[in-house]
Amino acid sequence: MAVVIASNLRKELAGNVLFDGVSFSVERRDRVALSGPNGAGKTTLLRILAGETEKHGGELALQKGTRVALHDQRPPLEQDLTLREYVLAGARDLVALEEELRALELAMAGGAHDQATLNRYAQAQARLEHAGGYGWRDRAASVVRGLGFAEEDLDRQLRTFSGGELTRASLARALGGDPDLLLLDEPTNHLDVANLEWLERELASLDAAVILVAHDRWFLEAVTTATLELEAGKGTFFPGPWHAWRREKAARMIHAQKEVVRVQGDIVRLERFVERFRYKKDKAKQAQAKLTQIGRLEQEKAGHADQVALLSRRTRGLGFEFLKPARSGRTVIEAKGLKVAVPGRVLLPSVSFALERGEHVALVGPNGSGKTTLIEKLVRGEEAHLGYGVQVGYFSQQEMELDTRGSVLQCVQSMTGLQRPDAQNLLGRFLFSGWDAHEKPVSVLSGGERRRLALAVTVASGANFLVLDEPTNHLDLESREALEAALDAFPGTILLVSHDRALLDAIAERTLAIEDGDLRAYDGGWAELLRRREEREAREKPKLAVEKPKPAAKPKAPAAKKRRPSELERLEAEIAACEAEVAQLEMKLAEDWTDVDVLAAHKRSRDALTALLERWEHLFDQAQA
């Protein structure tokens, strides 16, 4: 049964149509990716579904009793609450349900055994059991820990948290309330890879319908089962995994291109007929009919051409083009015994490494492990030696390097030395189009606009050593892929910090990972790092069972039948085989992320592994009971 059904939804902003005719249906355990360019209305649609914004047309029906939870990028308003209070406040209905159950129990103890009371008690009890019974608070606390908070954070007030931590708190609140319809706007922001992987598992196990906006390709492939795309004011619903939708979009563009060619051919043939027979009396009527037909074909051709232009524009994304940098010395940067610390805490006591000319290296690690602090020391040349002829281009998370004294155009000119026409062309490639966008003060830009502007300056810097700290934040999917292609082709040296696993896997020839207070080097990208970690963990994993001493020899007894393996043992063998299959597929994805067949096989194997692990946990709990 559908949790939500939308029919011909319409939304206007300031008298202009944002979208119209958007229809879809989402069932429990569906995971729908809400896709589309910035400004298409994705966040607005989520807020309409949550009842926070009105619609201006169409019908919206939620299943009776549906509980809706929305996580978006707005900071919590209740800054005086502790993290625990804030998260539990998202489950007020569960608290009310506990109170109702207690009241019903008192009523039944007093003799109220009518059918209505019994039915209501059964419904309330079933609802609470769905949320985890009276232990739902413990589950909510486990969600908080899964998103990277420590136990002592639970009793801290929200006003003491950073912006990124508040975003994660909002996500914990949405997940902890056991919703039927979960709406997530950019849930992957401010999560490190460990938190991302936890969230993927959590969403896979959640008994709810999920509609989400995300730009993390690895995450979308792991989680989603359908796509709703908002574009040019219209909605397109596609049932199936994310990679299948991308393949379908490409097929649609090819089809539209072929249709333009076909219709143009028909027009040319009809024009020849008209030209030949329009002045002959016996053919004049036919010629006139052909002219009418040509008019209809011109309209059809225009429609196909518009579709091609739209799809092509979305495929291009931002116009990333790096200037060819000057050649540096062989060793670009070298650090020996470098100490990374923040006030009151040493993050990395002593790390040593070197980057050579042309290397593309990823730096990964959990949030708070010291990645940004490390690269800032490198950029400033503290305890690290830059090689001959090295020119550093630094893209930070805060964009502190931007000149905020004037307009967007003045900023680009002052920081790159470009003449006005070239600077305007650069800004156009980064979606700053027109006089208003060029003259807009840098000081009033949004977070996404600042990042695009900082990327534009980095592109035009001519640096031969790029240090990029989370460059894909606030970029849409196509822009991420455009950046990925440009970085892959960049002939200089790159040190990349990112939580975008698809980008890491595509760009990195070597990975530096902060693990257990040390910096470890791995050849290859993200998939290879996963494989090496799994191998190390398998070697270090202690044996679950200790061999029992052999009993004293007894007189020989008749041969017993060979013991059959238990279901737990059979499951463990299947899990081991499935894990090996997943690891093998991830190695293939490391070689070619765009192979849709491998992506589909990887999704199936991960789903199968999740199901096996859930079955194993169930049997193990039974055995321990």
Q: Looking at the structure, do residues 12 and 141 belong to the same domain, yes or no? A: yes
CA atoms of 104 and 113, how far apart (whole Å)? 10
449-482: pLDDT as tens digits: 787 888 888 878 888 999 999 888 777 777 788 7
Q: Looking at the structure, do residues 59 and 196 belong to the same domain, yes or no? A: yes
Domain boundary among 195, 224, 242: 242
Within a 10 A sphere around the Cβ of 105, how many other Cβ atoms? 12
394-412: pLDDT as tens digits: 888 765 567 788 899 999 9
> Does residue 550 form part of some domain?
no
CA atoms of 556 and 558, how far apart (whole Å)? 7
The stretch 246-266 carries a mean pLDDT of: 70
SS3 504: helix
Burial 534-554 (b: 16+ CB within 10 A, else e): eeeeeeeeeeeeeeeeeeeee
pLDDT, residue 260, reads 67
180-199: pLDDT as tens digits: 999 999 898 878 888 888 99
Q: Looking at the structure, do residues 14 and 120 belong to the same domain, yes or no? A: yes
Total residue length of the chain: 625
Q: Looking at the structure, do residues 215 and 263 belong to the same domain, yes or no? A: no
> Does residue 536 form part of some domain?
no
Classify residue 73 as exposed, middle or buried by CB count within 10 Å of its CB (0-12, 13-18, 19+): middle
Q: Are 177 and 207 in contact (CB under 8 A)?
A: no
263-291: pLDDT as tens digits: 677 777 767 766 766 666 556 666 667 66
CA atoms of 571 and 315, how far apart (whole Å)? 44
358-389: pLDDT as tens digits: 999 999 988 888 888 899 888 888 888 999 99
Q: Which of 228-242, 430-444, 611-625 has the lowest mean pLDDT?
A: 611-625
Q: Looking at the structure, do residues 374 and 513 belong to the same domain, yes or no? A: yes
Nearest C-alpha neighbor of 172 from the set 157, 193, 191 = 191
pLDDT, residue 307, reads 59
pLDDT at 561 over 50: no
Give the pair of three-digit tokens for residue 89: 């406040």
Q: Which of 18-32, 229-243, 266-280 has the lowest mean pLDDT?
A: 266-280
121-175: pLDDT as tens digits: 787 777 777 766 666 777 888 888 888 888 889 889 988 888 788 888 999 999 9
pLDDT, residue 9, reads 94
> Does residue 558 form part of some domain?
no
pLDDT, residue 565, reads 58
Nearest C-alpha neighbor of 225 from the set 27, 41, 480, 5 = 27
> Does residue 560 form part of some domain?
no
pLDDT, residue 548, reads 45
Give the pair of three-digit tokens for residue 44: 């607005």
Query: Which residue range forms the structural domain that includes residue 618?
Result: 565-625
Q: Looking at the structure, do residues 206 and 275 belong to the same domain, yes or no? A: no
3-state SS string over 350-402? EEEEEEECCCEEEEECCCCCCHHHHHHHHHHCCCEEECCCCCEEEECCCCCCC
337-366: pLDDT as tens digits: 888 888 888 888 898 999 999 999 999 988
Specify the number of domains making up the chain. Answer: 4
CA atoms of 391 and 131, how far apart (whole Å)? 56
Q: Looking at the structure, do residues 41 and 157 belong to the same domain, yes or no? A: yes
CA atoms of 354 and 390, how far apart (whole Å)? 14
Q: Looking at the structure, do residues 339 and 364 belong to the same domain, yes or no? A: yes
Confidence of residue 24 (pLDDT cuts 50, 70, 90): very high
CA dihedral 219, 220, 224, 227 (to 10 degrees): 160
Check which CATH number belongs to the domain holding 197 and give it.
3.40.50.300
Q: Looking at the structure, do residues 486 and 344 belong to the same domain, yes or no? A: yes
